[in-house]
Amino acid sequence: MEVTSLEALPLDGARLLILTGAGVSAESGLATFRDSNGLWEQHRVEDVASPEGFERDPHLVWKFYSLRRQQATTVHPNAGHAAIAAVERRLGDRFLLVTQNVDGLHQRAGSERVIEIHGSLFRTKCSGCDLEPFDDTASYLGRILPTCDRCEARGGSALLRPDIVWFGEMLDPGHLRAIDAFIRADPGRPFFFMAIGTSGAVWPAAGLVNHARAVGATAVLVNAEPAENASRFHRFVQGKSAEVLPALLGVEGSASR
């Protein structure tokens, strides 16, 4: 692994797969569980981010996500988000962004080719049927929780829940197929994989870097701290994404839409 300066990646004619994690959103002021030792109001993450937690106390879970919805609307995309959106406009279909973040900041910055592998804070789905997830910005902080009209029309009853991939749940197979297809596409073209604002040591970062390298990708890690598997990356740039990405992606001076 080479610890490098901010020399721009040679992206002309190349393909670029980017994976972003909580570090990118944290630079916009969004708190993470890690900031509070994995606790929220003294509740463990599993209490508010698992099917079992929702079954046990749906009011608590909806309170947590309602407050997160409110918080996400008070912050703005940072220069890292803008740089990623700018390089997408430059590369077009040779670009794909995979984000572990659920706050929608990438889309607000102008990103369009986005796979939200952990879901979206601003979508809701049914806990009991396959109702298509729908856009939802409402806060459910009272005693009345949202229920599924479709289930009720069929004579049943089910609560709606945030469209988030919780602990113990599988990632969307369609998302995984789309990522795999992008990695394998156009093998004769230079290919770069970047993990940004994530340790790179756990799934999906660990799996993606190995998968991308298997087809010849140059792997780059951008993070505030070194990762356990940093040796799997060809380059490591230590720093905040908002500070290093504009130069690294060659889009300094570009603004998001």
Is 59 one of the catalytic residues? no
Q: What is the pLDDT along the chain (257 residues), one digit of tens a residue?
A: 454 567 899 999 999 999 999 999 999 998 766 555 555 666 788 899 999 999 999 999 999 999 999 999 999 999 999 999 999 999 999 999 999 999 999 999 999 999 999 999 999 999 999 999 999 999 999 889 999 999 999 999 999 999 999 999 999 999 999 999 999 999 999 999 999 998 766 677 678 999 999 999 999 999 988 877 788 899 999 999 999 999 999 998 654 44
CB-CB contact of 238 with 24 (8 Å): no
Pair 233, 220: CB distance under 8 Å: yes
Domains of the chain, CATH where assigned:
2-29+76-118+171-248 (3.40.50.1220), 34-74+122-164 (3.30.1600.10)
Give the DSSP letter string of 45-111: HHHHSSHHHHHH-HHHHHHHHHHHHHHHTT----HHHHHHHHHHHHHGGGEEEEE---S-HHHHHT-
Cβ 17 vs Cβ 215: under 8 Å: no
Q: Residue 14: its pLDDT value, please? A: 97
- How far apart, in whole angstroms, are the C-alpha atoms of residue 208 and residue 45? 25
pLDDT at res. 257: 40
Q: Give the Cα separation of 146 and 124 in Å (integer).
A: 10
Q: Centre a 10 Å sphere on the Cβ of residue 88 and count the other Cβ atoms it contains.
A: 25
Number of CB atoms found within 10 A of residue 141's CB: 11
Q: Are 99 and 106 in contact (CB under 8 A)?
A: yes
Residue 46's pLDDT is what? 86
pTM value?
A: 0.92
From the candidates 59, 81, 118, 211, give the one annotated as an active-site residue. 118
| CA 240, chain centre distance (Å) | 17
Instruction: Looking at the chain, list the stretches that DSSP marks H as alpha helix, in order from N- to C-terminal side.
Output: 22-26, 45-48, 51-56, 58-72, 79-91, 105-109, 149-153, 173-184, 205-214, 241-248
